[in-house]
Amino acid sequence: MSLRLQARKLACERDDRWLFRGLDLDIRAGEIVRVEGPNGSGKTTLLKILSGQLADYHGELFWNEAPMRRSRKAFLANLLYLGHSPGVKAALTPLENLAWYQALAGEPDDAAARLEALASVGLVGFEEVPAGQLSAGQQRRVALARLTLIPRPLWVLDEPFTAIDRDGVVALEARLSAHARQGGCVLVTTHHALAASSALRRIRLGQGGDDAGA
């Protein structure tokens, strides 16, 4: 079963200012789509709309040819979203954090998978340390461990490279292209330059909304 996320004439108005208008998107399996644009051009807002968090938009969204409003549950079962904040509880250990995410995603409770996921992001030896004692980069890695732990075809990642060291960036980039090769799909915003590949596509958002109020 292929996956397809489409947007038709997508527009978002925030307090009388158009962030973007008339956006047509067709995102399919095997693609890495990078959303670009200056600060304040609505990158995060677009990702929030495309991940079903913001209902306040004009235009239509389709998940696998069906309108989003009707296929929301099916869509969410295929989505993995990483926002600005890592979503890691400081008082819980990385393992406990992942256990909650596993249950929340409807995955079976599997301790071995959690250990493996933490190992895949280079957090061996930190499994039982309260996340509050980890560095910002390590907390971000705990969040990124979800990419391995929870198999979802559509990844929506908002600035995933923040606070990650150079080796981590290389590993994550490899992880993204591997996901696309395997038939997944990645939607990402980043200030980090992604290596060009045939799978990479760019969406450029407007220059700070200079068509406001027109």
Partner 1 sequence: MPGPDASPVSEQQAGVACREPREGTAVAVRATLKRDLVLMLRRRSEVLNPLVFFALVITLFPIGISPDPALLASIAPGLLWVAALLAALLSLDSLFRSDFEDGSLEQLLLSPQPLPALVLAKVAVHWLLTGLPLALMAPVLGIMLSLPAGSYAVLALSLALGSASLSLIGAIGAALIVGLSRGGVLLSLLVLPLYIPVLIFGAGAVQAAILGAGVAAHLAILGALLAVALMFAPWAIAASLRISING
Partner 2 sequence: MWAFIHKLGSPKWFYAISARLQPWCWGAAVALILVGSVWGLAFAPADYQQGNSFRIIYVHVPAAFLAQSIFVTMAVAGMIFMVWRIKLADMAAAMMAPLGAGMTFVALFSGAVWGMPTWGTWWMWDARLTSMLILFFLYIGVIALRGAFASRDSASRAASVLAMVGVINIPIIKYSVEWWYTLHQPATFSITSRPAMPTEMWLPLLLMVLGFYCFFIAVTLMRTRSEILRRESSKRWVRELAAEEGT
Instruction: Return the H-helix or E-strand segment holding 137.
Output: helix 136-149
Binding partner 1 by CB under 8 A: which of 89, 177, 203, 208? 89
Site for partner 1 in 192-211 (CB under 8 A): 198-199
Give yes or no for residue 16 binding partner 2 (CB under 8 A): yes
Binding partner 1 by CB under 8 A: which of 111, 133, 135, 182? 182
Four-residue CA torsion sign, 45, 46, 52, 55: positive
Kindly tell me which of 56 and 165 has the beta carbon lying closer to partner 2.
56
Distance CA 96, CA 103 (A): 11
Give yes or no for residue 111 binding partner 1 (CB under 8 A): no
DSSP letter, residue 197: -
Give yes or no for residue 100 binding partner 1 (CB under 8 A): yes
Four-residue CA torsion sign, 184, 87, 164, 196: positive
**To the nearest 10°, the Cα dihedral for 62, 158, 160, 85?**
-120
- Two structure tokens written together for 24: 């047509």
Site for partner 1 in 161-180 (CB under 8 A): 179-180
Contact partner at residue 16 from partner 1, partner 2, none, CB < 5 to 8 Å by partner kind = partner 2
Kindly tell me which of 14 and 84 has the beta carbon lying closer to partner 2.
14
Q: What is the nearest approach in angstroms of partner 1 to the Cβ of residue 164?
A: 16
Give yes or no for residue 211 binding partner 2 (CB under 8 A): no
Beta bridge partners of 194: none
Q: Tell me the residue type at 198.
A: S
Give yes or no for residue 15 binding partner 2 (CB under 8 A): yes
* Cα R_g (the chain), whole angstroms: 18
Span from 10-18, 68-76, 125-133, 140-148 in contact with partner 2 (CB under 8 A): 10-18
Q: What is the nearest approach in angstroms of partner 1 to the Cβ of residue 57?
A: 11
